[in-house]
Homo-oligomer: A and B are copies of this chain.
Amino acid sequence: MAEMTYAEAIRDGMRQEMKRDRNVYLYGEDVGIFGGCFGVTAGLFQEFGPERVIDTPITETAIAGSAVGAAAAGLRPIAEIMFVDFMGVCMDEILNQAAKMRYMFGGKAKLPMVIRTPCGAGFSAAAQHSQTLEAWFTHIPGLKVVMPGTAADGKGLMEAAIRDDNPVIFIEHKVLLGAKGEVPEGEYLVPIGKADIKREGTDVTIVAWSLMLSKALAAAESLAQEGISAEVLDPRSLVPLDKEAILNSVKKTGKLVIVHEAVRTSGFGGEIAAIVADEGFDLLDAPIKRVTAPDTPIPFSPVLESAYIPSEEKIIKAVKELF
């Protein structure tokens, strides 16, 4: 184990796989010398050279589309889209090409590609640089959607994503990049599709991912002091979703609160709530609560932005409404 930041851990995951498999390469805007807009790829250019760490022109459509072609032709690209907010520029490549090619071709193509992209508010980067858009990708069959909330999961899920033979949307959180954690050294794989109970509890299940995981854990600590034992479950990947883990937890607690940073309407919290309101209806003894951003674009001014982002306090409040 080594202490590393989330950014270092993700970078280490990429490095492990790039050393292991020459078919893996990394490209995107300013990922080379510049080291990526948030420094996540720093040093990889120096380590692997200009053939395997490649700067692109500002052309998200060509980045994502060429990842599809390269993967279909046998490489394993890791493409970076500088902010998840820019995914709109290449949604066709993701929606209609990456996700569907295998199915449309009757199973006769494999698309081992990872699209890495950072999400999240917290830097006063305003409405076009702070979004959290995972729900879109979960609505596209054929993709896997991964959102690590800790450094170790960042590394392990990155390695798993690179080895996966399907297109994986790998969403990093900007605010987490500097967060430290213990991370296994060398090869380390976290299976995609397996949730992790980050804190055990008996009274209420809180499902939270990415940055919201840490807020949920903090809220759980406070709640413990008030005698409420919260279980905090991190799905880690939204597609595939470890539905059983969620239902098992709700079976134990009878109560469910879902937390995400994305706007409320049609966020992935709705999907989880819907699954539980169907398959876990009899397990529930209280309404399902969601703690989310409001249905607005993200405001710039720090005072507004911090009112916008779901907070520990809001999670505590939502949990208490159930008791």
User: Which residues from chain A sit less than 8 Å from chain B, CB to CB?
Assistant: 85-89, 91-96, 99-100, 103-104, 126-128, 133, 135-136, 138-139, 141-142, 239, 241, 262-263, 265-271, 273-274, 276-279, 281-282, 284, 286-290, 294-297, 299
Assess A100 versus B127: contact at CB under 8 Å? Given A239-B265, A265-B239, A278-B288.
yes
Residues of B within 8 A of A100 (CB): 127-128, 297
Assess A88 versus B91: contact at CB under 8 Å? Given A265-B138, A265-B271, A297-B104.
yes
12 sampled A-B residue pairs with Cβ under 8 A? A103-B299, A104-B126, A104-B127, A104-B297, A133-B139, A136-B139, A139-B263, A139-B267, A141-B265, A141-B295, A270-B271, A277-B277
A308 vs B299: C-alpha distance in the bound complex, in angstroms?
41
Q: Is the CB of B288 within 8 A of A277?
A: yes
Checking B96, B135, B266, B274 against A290 with a beta-carbon cut-off of 8 angstroms, the contacting residue is B274
Assess A94 versus B104: contact at CB under 8 Å? Given A263-B141, A270-B270, A281-B288.
no
Residues of B within 8 A of A91 (CB): 87-89, 91-92
Q: Is the CB of B263 within 8 A of A274?
A: no
Question: Which residue of chain B lies nearest to A256 when distances are taken between CB atoms in the complex?
Answer: B277
Q: Is the CB of A269 within 8 A of B274?
A: yes
Residues of B within 8 A of A96 (CB): 85, 88, 127-128
Assess A142 versus B297: contact at CB under 8 Å? Given A88-B91, A88-B95.
yes
Residues of B within 8 A of A86 (CB): 92
Assess A270 versus B278: contact at CB under 8 Å? Given A91-B88, A103-B297, A135-B139.
no
* A241 → chain B closest CB, angstroms: 8
Q: Is the CB of B289 within 8 A of A278?
A: yes
Assess A139 versus B262: contact at CB under 8 Å? Given A128-B100, A278-B273, A281-B286.
yes
Q: Is the CB of A296 within 8 A of B103?
A: yes
Query: Which among A104, A276, A278 has the greatest number of chain B C-beta atoms within 10 A?
Result: A278
* A204 → chain B closest CB, angstroms: 14
* A125 → chain B closest CB, angstroms: 12
* A265 → chain B closest CB, angstroms: 6
* A102 → chain B closest CB, angstroms: 9
Residues of B within 8 A of A88 (CB): 91-96
Given contact pairs A91-B92, A266-B266, enumerate 12 new A-B contacts (beta carbons under 8 Å): A88-B92, A88-B94, A89-B92, A100-B127, A103-B296, A103-B299, A241-B265, A269-B274, A273-B274, A274-B288, A281-B286, A282-B287
Question: Which residue of chain B lies nearest to A131 when distances are taken between CB atoms in the complex?
Answer: B95
Assess A103 versus B89: contact at CB under 8 Å? Given A141-B263, A239-B265.
no
